[in-house]
Chains A and B, each alone.
Chain A
């Protein structure tokens, strides 16, 4: 039995009231590629921040639990300490200086120095950097990775695909490195580049370096990993050697979640003889990090429709594209009318309202009162809540306040009053304000993105109940985008699974976990975790 190189035991981390990691375990052996799987928000990045001693952790009150390195407990309280111990990181976003050469980047802050008198007297800061030696070292490291890049090229002039390899070269050039973390390394690579990368990872592992491999791509995990650990909601689901499991099982572990009791609701009053509420034809939205690449679907009037999928697959872009917040191509029909040149105003005028996933950015005026937040959309779009005096206007505060009080009552917004600033509200109550604002437009179609992200269970339940109520009583068409599949399944009539920017399939809420798992991983269409569109 090998001894473990790294053991993280009983790790618990809270950000304020919010527990993001609960009694987490991670055990990594040398020579091992250890895949770390979980949806976004499952706690992977927090765990890695703890491992690296990132300042965010200390600043937010540290963590509970212990870290063993080579069987001995260690305190990792700064990135420098992590480096000294022998932990290296290949970042998701490139930690590179574009204005430096490849060699300078590889040797950043570990530059070889010439011996000199001044250096001896005043310390290494005044020693001359040995640029020739630096280039030689860099070349050697690049060679080890198997890359033929000129070490004198400026980083900014390098193709994106090569940057990853420079990062790896930098990490292995640190002579003491024993553990390397790869954070979604293949996300920006082409398939052939990804293959090369996986080969290098194997090679490094064979040399004795332990590797933690964070990815969303199950195909790659099955190809290269030795051991897999799955997280969900900040908790450990399971950890096992790769041989003892299958892709489908892993997928199920990642998304499976105890379902809350489904909401009681009658069969939707779907009107079949009228045009679709929303129809998309080959709809593609250019939203950075969440591109959709040609979505076609129809949402019937009076339906609650879900959009599901893993992070980065493009589900979020659809509602944003419909609202005109990001440029899109393809066709959009609302109530049978095609909308050309989509702008937010055009969509809002057609009685569509949107609750954004970016609550604190797009969603709220944090330094404004609840009533101002609720009223502003109607003031802008429908010119409600204002007195008109010829060309001049004044906001009708009394009407706005009355409406705000009604919404506070209806949605049970916990606050000191309608004049309270939204910055001081809890996440759940902030979300309710967003919903209230959307409803002040009196919409026929409501688009809601990530309605329950980061809010407590009570508020979650209430929000979902309210959405169902709107649908049942007012016949409102509701499109919910969410990463929480269980939640969608408890309220939606149909759920479209978005994978790789396209509709992988549309399932009824009652379909099995297994089926959902396969669709979410993009396995249903026969792709091995990748599809052709990505290679363009």
Chain B
């Protein structure tokens, strides 16, 4: 019993080795950085609300066998296009959010369809194709918004254009128009949210423990110890959150004035639910079948190419919406570069959460975004603390993002090479 339990614990650790590694890295980075807990919390909270939607958009293509969808940058561009035009119409407040979503959706559907078509022609090389397609689309996007606007395409709002009347400005601010169009629908302060989150976490721990005790089949001692340690850590964190707001005047100050967009969190939850739901439907089942073996799926009568295109459309649409959610919260936009890092950061985040080229879930996305951005947020300070040079931290975090993607890709490729060797036998 005991041995079996130890083996199980080992299996769990092996399964989650990536996640465990990054948890340790995140904690170490946080300790070294010396960032105040409130600032740290605020950083993670805002990054979570802004980025998670797009990370969740990666899940469907992974399951459908298209790998990590680097072309979500194209979805992000669709979102930006929608935002630019919405703002130019002079729409403000929540309607501007709705209109942006409305405009971006058909665009994203079209782009997703086109990307899907190309990816169906490059089977086996989907990821590099989606990445290069992102770069290519970036060129076309720049061409349209730098040159065609004002020359071939009329544009109503002169204040958003360059002084010579050609092209959109490279930096746009949405204060008073599009900014907080979703956030302001329903938000609270971080100050209150932290309290609620802390209490909720405590309640969860208690329920979990009660259920563990009620269970007839008792698990072995090592697993139980691991359980208790886990519960204790979460409980301590929760208590910490609850009392955090009492700690200092500064903490209260920071947290009372930071908007915490519950509405964005609701959107994220809805997308999580959608992801769960879609894999219970016939369509989601087809995604899984196509992702695991196209040949078999085709022989059983599933339209493989069509299924893949639908997956790409869904992912692109979500990426577009995600970009809108992000931009309205940030309130400014670098017209020609806001989309560039989207895929890199989203892909790195979901991989940190334990996903791979062929496997991804909501859990991976949520966990990954918290861990990855915890490290990402503090790395300049870590650089300063360790090397007296914040630039090193900056370089390090870029290296981390590229490196994690490289490792994930390499692990998958080694596995694939092994499998194809075995299949030949």
Touching chains A and B, CB distance < 8 Å? yes
Please report the C-alpha to C-alpha distance between residue A125 and residue B288 in the assembled complex, in whole angstroms: 13
Question: Which residues of chain A in 78-103 are interfacial with respect to chain B, using CB atoms and an 8 Å cutoff?
Answer: 79-80, 83, 95-100
Please list 9 pairs of residues, one from A and one from B, whose beta carbons are closer than 8 Å in the complex, sorted by A's number: A83-B301, A95-B300, A109-B286, A109-B289, A111-B285, A119-B281, A124-B282, A126-B282, A129-B281
Residues in chain B near residue A127, CB distance under 8 A: 281-282
Contact of B296 among A80, A95, A288 (CB under 8 A): A95
Residues in chain B near residue A113, CB distance under 8 A: 282
Residues in chain A near residue B288, CB distance under 8 A: 99-100
Q: Are B297 and A109 in contact (CB under 8 A)?
A: yes
Min CB distance, B212 to chain A, in Å?
25
Chain A 353-380 near chain B by CB (<8 Å), digits 1 or 0: 0000000000000000000000000000
Q: Which residue of B lies closest to A124 (CB)?
A: B282
Q: Are B289 and A126 in contact (CB under 8 A)?
A: no
B425 within 8 A of A: yes
A108 within 8 A of B: yes
Q: Are A288 and B285 in contact (CB under 8 A)?
A: no
Please report the C-alpha to C-alpha distance between residue A127 and residue B281 in the assembled complex, in whole angstroms: 5
Please count how many residues in chain B sit with their CB below 8 Å of the partner chain's CB atoms.
Answer: 20
Residues in chain A near residue B282, CB distance under 8 A: 111, 113, 124-127, 129
Min CB distance, A171 to chain B, in Å?
11
Min CB distance, B421 to chain A, in Å?
11
Please report the C-alpha to C-alpha distance between residue A83 and residue B298 in the assembled complex, in whole angstroms: 12
B283 within 8 A of A: yes
Q: Are B283 and A97 in contact (CB under 8 A)?
A: no
Q: Are A125 and B281 in contact (CB under 8 A)?
A: yes
Say what secondary structure dominates the interface of chain B.
helix
Q: Are A95 and B299 in contact (CB under 8 A)?
A: yes
Residues in chain A near residue B300, CB distance under 8 A: 95, 108-110
Chain A 118-142 near chain B by CB (<8 Å), digits 1 or 0: 0100001111110000000000000
B6 within 8 A of A: no
Contact of A108 among B280, B283, B289, B424 (CB under 8 A): B289
Chain A 234-261 near chain B by CB (<8 Å), digits 1 or 0: 0000000000000000000000000000
Please report the C-alpha to C-alpha distance between residue A370 and residue B282 in the assembled complex, in whole angstroms: 54
Residues in chain A near residue B280, CB distance under 8 A: 128-129
Min CB distance, B97 to chain A, in Å?
25
Q: Are A95 and B289 in contact (CB under 8 A)?
A: no
Starting from the known contacts A95-B299, A98-B292, A129-B280, 9 additional A-B residue pairs (CB-CB under 8 Å) come to: A79-B301, A83-B301, A97-B289, A97-B297, A108-B289, A108-B296, A108-B297, A109-B301, A126-B283
Min CB distance, A156 to chain B, in Å?
10
Residues in chain B near residue A96, CB distance under 8 A: 296
B234 within 8 A of A: no
Please report the C-alpha to C-alpha distance between residue A124 and residue B280 in the assembled complex, in whole angstroms: 12
Min CB distance, B43 to chain A, in Å?
38
Nearest first, the 7 closest Cβ-Cβ pairs linking A and B are A109-B300, A125-B283, A80-B301, A108-B300, A99-B292, A97-B292, A97-B293
Please count how many residues in chain A sit with their CB below 8 Å of the partner chain's CB atoms.
Answer: 23
Q: Interface of A with B (CB < 8 Å)?
A: 79-80, 83, 95-100, 104, 108-111, 113, 119, 124-129, 288
Min CB distance, A154 to chain B, in Å?
11
Min CB distance, A289 to chain B, in Å?
9
B295 within 8 A of A: yes
Q: Which residue of B lies closest to A55 (CB)?
A: B298
Q: Which residue of A lies closest to B359 (CB)?
A: A99
B254 within 8 A of A: no
Question: Which residues of chain B in 293-317 are interfacial with respect to chain A, using CB atoms and an 8 Å cutoff?
Answer: 293, 295-302
Residues in chain B near residue A79, CB distance under 8 A: 298-299, 301
Please report the C-alpha to C-alpha distance between residue A497 and residue B373 in the assembled complex, in whole angstroms: 69
Given A80-B301, A83-B301: A128 and B292 interface contact (C-beta under 8 Å): no
Residues in chain B near residue A129, CB distance under 8 A: 280-282, 285
Residues in chain A near residue B299, CB distance under 8 A: 79, 95
Please report the C-alpha to C-alpha distance between residue A98 and residue B296 in the assembled complex, in whole angstroms: 10
Given A125-B282, A125-B283: A288 and B425 interface contact (C-beta under 8 Å): yes
Min CB distance, B62 to chain A, in Å?
13
Q: Which residue of A lies closest to B310 (CB)?
A: A125
Please report the C-alpha to C-alpha distance between residue A99 and residue B295 in the assembled complex, in whole angstroms: 14
Please report the C-alpha to C-alpha distance between residue A513 and residue B49 in the assembled complex, in whole angstroms: 80
Residues in chain B near residue A108, CB distance under 8 A: 289, 296-297, 300, 302
Residues in chain A near residue B302, CB distance under 8 A: 108-109
Residues in chain A near residue B281, CB distance under 8 A: 119, 125-129
Min CB distance, B263 to chain A, in Å?
24
Q: Which residue of A lies closest to B285 (CB)?
A: A129
Q: Which residue of A lies closest to B424 (CB)?
A: A288
Please report the C-alpha to C-alpha distance between residue A80 and residue B302 in the assembled complex, in whole angstroms: 9
Min CB distance, A98 to chain B, in Å?
7
Min CB distance, A326 to chain B, in Å?
11
Q: Are B301 and A97 in contact (CB under 8 A)?
A: no
Residues in chain B near residue A111, CB distance under 8 A: 282, 285
Residues in chain A near residue B295, CB distance under 8 A: 95
Please report the C-alpha to C-alpha distance between residue A125 and residue B295 in the assembled complex, in whole angstroms: 20
Please report the C-alpha to C-alpha distance between residue A98 and residue B424 in the assembled complex, in whole angstroms: 16
Please report the C-alpha to C-alpha distance between residue A96 and residue B288 in the assembled complex, in whole angstroms: 13
Given A108-B296, A128-B281, A288-B424: A100 and B289 interface contact (C-beta under 8 Å): yes
Please report the C-alpha to C-alpha distance between residue A113 and residue B297 in the assembled complex, in whole angstroms: 18
Please report the C-alpha to C-alpha distance between residue A128 and residue B285 in the assembled complex, in whole angstroms: 9
Residues in chain A near residue B283, CB distance under 8 A: 125-126
Residues in chain A near residue B285, CB distance under 8 A: 104, 111, 129
Q: Which of B286, B301, B425 has the most CB of A within 10 A?
A: B301
Min CB distance, A45 to chain B, in Å?
14
Please report the C-alpha to C-alpha distance between residue A364 and residue B283 in the assembled complex, in whole angstroms: 45
Chain B 260-286 near chain A by CB (<8 Å), digits 1 or 0: 000000000000000000001111011
Please report the C-alpha to C-alpha distance between residue A119 and residue B292 in the assembled complex, in whole angstroms: 25
Min CB distance, A137 to chain B, in Å?
15
Min CB distance, B364 to chain A, in Å?
17
Min CB distance, B286 to chain A, in Å?
7
Min CB distance, A163 to chain B, in Å?
12
Residues in chain B near residue A128, CB distance under 8 A: 280-281
Please report the C-alpha to C-alpha distance between residue A474 and residue B291 in the assembled complex, in whole angstroms: 58
Please report the C-alpha to C-alpha distance between residue A129 and residue B288 in the assembled complex, in whole angstroms: 13
Q: Which residue of A lies closest to B284 (CB)?
A: A129
Please report the C-alpha to C-alpha distance between residue A438 and residue B281 in the assembled complex, in whole angstroms: 59
Q: Which residue of B lies closest to A82 (CB)?
A: B301
Please report the C-alpha to C-alpha distance between residue A95 and residue B299 in the assembled complex, in whole angstroms: 8
Q: Which of A83, A98, A109, A288 has the most CB of B within 10 A?
A: A109
Min CB distance, A74 to chain B, in Å?
17
Please report the C-alpha to C-alpha distance between residue A127 and residue B277 in the assembled complex, in whole angstroms: 10
Min CB distance, B145 to chain A, in Å?
35
